[in-house]
Every structure is written in structure tokens, then in C-alpha cells.
Structure 1
Amino acid sequence: MNPTVARLTLRGLLGRRRGLLLLVAPALLLVVAAVASVSSADPHDMANNILGALGLGTLIPILGLVVGTGVIANEIDDGSIVYLLAKPLPRWRIVTTKLVVAIGVTWLFSVVPTLLAGLLLVGTQDGVALGYTVAVLVAGAAYSALFLLLGVVTRHAVVAGLAYALIWESTVGNFVEGARTLSIQQWGRSVAEAVAGQNAISSDVSLGAAVPLLLVVTVAATVLASVKLAGMTLAGEE
């Protein structure tokens, strides 16, 4: 963790219009939850639909995409990364510092809104709000690492990440049974189920598989991003 890199990354991430964009996802989640809370529908089903499908399945991946790619992709695209690479700083430390910032910002804009939305929908009953909040914590870290890797390996990180978030996580991961095992969203739901219980939240992936997979994706993405960045020259090219 390098304080200077962290400060510059945070300033670049929140100092532009991206900072306002980050408010859209949590605001939308809270508005939908507030409207749904006055509905006569079953609160548990409503909570699973909103916090699970909309929150964990759509808004959190998109939020992670904006943050994860934003901490490094812009610097690579505009060439300013060369000033950072010229410093006597190990490349892996640059990546891990940016990842810590990405995870922190993702948590900042997702954890509290998810908890508040859950409390609006079901209160503290059955631990549903807490379950999805913990799910957002673990899934947010994995998304941040994955999208940071995309920001390092391709100049089309936003497009690739958006396709992954909307097609795989929101569509395939929800409706294709076999694909759920390879979905960060479903891994997060498994953690939520472990916290709240099977009667409140259901998942198709066991906790014994979900936790190792979350760790593997997070660590592997970080290592690969560090290796890729280490292979860049001061001209920003391989």
C-alpha cells in the first residue's frame, strides 16, 4: 500500500464526473426499495428480487466496473501511467494499492445503501438485510479485482466489463443453471444464505465452493494485473 498512489488514485476517481455517476446506482437501489416497501407484496420475495437480482446481480457489478476500471484504465489510455511506472515502486504495489482504493470506494457506495434498502424492505427480520450486505462486501471485492484486471489488459475495459456484467452476471448467471457456479453474483448469494439462512435466501452454489472461488478470482486477478503491468515499458506499451 502506497499512500501517495492511493491519494492520487482516489482524487482521480472521485474528482471527475465519475464521482456523480457512482451515486446513481445506490440512489436507484434506495428509491426502488422505498417504493417497494409500501407495497402489499410479500416483503421477503420483494427483498430477494430487489437486493438479489437488482442490487447484487446488476447494480453492484456495474458499480464495481466503473470503479475497478476507473482506478487505472484512464491512466493507461491517456499515457499518464508512465509517470507512475517511472517511480522506483514495484508494479505489484501499484496494483494492490489501486485495488485497495477500488474495493474501498465500491464498498462506500454499495454497503450502506444495501443495508438501508434491506432495512426498508424487511427490517431486521431473518437477517436478510445483513446477509445481502455481507454478500455485497465479498462480491464487491471480487468485482473490483476482476475489473481492475480488465483495465490493465485491454483498452476496451468498460465495454468488455459491461458485456460481462449485463450478459453473464445479470442474464446467464440468473437463468442458466449450469452457469451459476461461475457467477460472482451466485457466490455472493451463497455467502448471504450462510448469514441469513436457507429459509430467507437461497443459492445454487454451496458455501464450500463459493468462498474458495471468490478468493481465487480476487487473488488471481490481482496477480495477473501485476504481471501485466510489470511487462509494460515506460512508453505504456508491451
Structure 2
Amino acid sequence: MNPTVARLTVRGLLGRRRGVLLLVVPALLLVISAIAAGSDGDKHDLTVKILGQLSLGTLVPILGLVVGTGAIATEIDDGSIVYLLAKPLPRWKIITTKLLVAIGTTWAIAGIPTFVAGLILYGTKDDLALGFTVGTLVAGAAYSALFLLLGVVTRHAVVAGLAYALIWESLIGNFVQGARTLSVQQWGLSVARAVAGDGVLTADVALGAAVPLLVVVIVAATVLASVKLGGLTLASEE
């Protein structure tokens, strides 16, 4: 990790209006959890629904999109990336540094509220809060890598990211069984089930498929983003 790149990335992610936006959804999750905790009904089902749909299904992809694309897309759009590329830094180091910052930010803003919401709703029973937290962390890492790649390869990264999260995962994934195999959300849910136990959670993707797919997405997105960033350098030098 390069400290200068990391510092600039953190400043860009948490400064101005983006920092406020990043706190809105986690705050909403905690408020809804606090209200729901006082309601009647099956606490287990309520916790699974809130953490599964609102946290893992909504909070994590939104934060991954905002953070992943914001880590580099803004610099590419306004041209300030040229100043960074002019430094004698390997392109892969720039990408990995920005990715680590994006993952860390996503973990802090999504993982911690998810765990707290789980404790509010269901306590420590069945490791449900812990399971969803771990699922949130692995899904957050994959979303960050995927959306960072989109921020490098297209100027419409936010639109492309929303299309994936809303159309593929939320719409197609809910109606087409096979599509869930290629859903980051389902991979995270599979990991959450492994932590909490099969009798506590159910998932459509086996852990043996989810973990390799998570690793492949993170590694492949990092490599492709590094290669693409190297191409941007060549273009600017020409």
C-alpha cells in the first residue's frame, strides 16, 4: 500500500457530500432495527429479513458502488488522475491501494452497523449477527473490487453498477434460479450461512462455489483494473 495514494483516496471518499451520503443508509438500518426490535412476531425471521434484504441486499451494494467508483472514477473524470500517474508508481500498486481503502471503508460503514443491528434485533443467539456480518464483509470486498473496475473501464460506472445491483441481483436473481450463482449477494449469504449454520440460514449457492467465485472476482477485477489503468497512462503519454 502506498501511504500517499491511500491518504488522497480517503480524503476523496470521505470529504464533502459523499461522506454524509455514506452514513445515511447505515443510520437508516440502525433506526429500522431499533424500531423492529420492539415489535411482536418471530424475531429470527424478522432479523433474517432485515439483515438479508436491507443490509446485505441494499446497504452493501450501495456502499460498494459509491465507495468503489468514488475511489478512482472521479479522478479519471476530472483528469486529476494524470498527476497520480505521473509519479513513479506501479499501476497495480495504485489500484491495490485504492481497493484496500475502498474495502476498509465499506467494511467500517457496512460491517459494523450490520453487527450492531443484528445484536439489537436478535442478540448473540445462533451467531446470526456474526454470520451476516461476515457475509457483509466478504460481499463488500467483492463489490468494492467490481465497482472499482467499472470506475476504471467506463465513465458510466455508477449506471453500470446500478444495473448490475438492481437488475441482475435484485430483479433477475429473484426470479431466475441459475442467475443467483453469479450474484455477489448470494455469495455473501452463503458465507453467512456457513458461519451461522445451515439450520439458521438458507442460501441458494453452496459455500464450495461461493468462496472460489468471491476470490476470482476480487483478483480478476484487481488485475483488469491495473491493466486498464496502464492503458490510460500510455494514452496520455502519446
TM range (shorter): over 0.9
Q: Tell me how many residue pairs correspond in the alignment.
A: 238
Distance 2:211 2:194 in 1: 11
Q: Who is 2:170 aligned against?
A: 170
Q: Who is 2:228 aligned against?
A: 228
Q: Who is 1:88 aligned against?
A: 88
How far off is 1:235 after superposition?
6.2
The sequence identity of aligned pairs, in percent, is: 76
Contact residue 65 and residue 147 of structure 1 kept, 8 A: yes
Distance 2:99 2:123 in 1: 33
* Worse-superposed segment, 163-172 or 62-71: 163-172
SS at match of 1:17: helix
CA-atom RMSD in angstroms: 1.3
Alignment of 1:64-213 (within 5 A): 64-213=64-213
How far off is 1:16 after superposition?
1.6
Where does the alignment leave 5 or more consecutive residues of structure 2 unmatched? none
Contact residue 173 and residue 186 of structure 1 kept, 8 A: no
1:43 paired with 2:43, answer: yes
SS at match of 1:231: helix
Contact residue 85 and residue 234 of structure 1 kept, 8 A: no
Q: C-alpha offsets along residues 131-173 of structure 1, whole Å, 9 cap, x if unaligned?
A: 0000011000000000000000000001111121112222222
How far off is 1:178 after superposition?
1.2
1:194 corresponds to which letter in structure 2? A
How far off is 1:200 after superposition?
1.1
2:91 corresponds to which letter in structure 1? R
Contact residue 82 and residue 235 of structure 1 kept, 8 A: no
Q: C-alpha offsets along residues 52-89 of structure 1, whole Å, 9 cap, x if unaligned?
A: 11210111101100000000000000000000011110
The alpha-carbon distance between structure 1 residues 220 and 204, as it changes in their structure 2 partners (threshold 3 A), is: same
SS at match of 2:155: coil
* Worse-superposed segment, 199-208 or 170-179: 170-179
Distance 1:224 1:94 in 2: 13
Q: Who is 1:19 aligned against?
A: 19
Q: Who is 2:57 aligned against?
A: 57
1:147 corresponds to which letter in structure 2? F
Distance 2:237 2:161 in 1: 22
* Worse-superposed segment, 212-221 or 53-62: 53-62
SS at match of 1:39: coil
Where does the alignment leave 5 or more consecutive residues of structure 1 unmatched? none
The alpha-carbon distance between structure 1 residues 216 and 29, as it changes in their structure 2 partners (threshold 3 A), is: same
SS at match of 1:199: coil
TM-score using structure 2 length: 0.97
Distance 1:60 1:111 in 2: 9
Q: Who is 2:8 aligned against?
A: 8
Q: Who is 2:219 aligned against?
A: 219
Q: C-alpha offsets along residues 29-53 of structure 1, whole Å, 9 cap, x if unaligned?
A: 1111111111112111111111011
Q: C-alpha offsets along residues 204-230 of structure 1, whole Å, 9 cap, x if unaligned?
A: 111100000000000000000000000
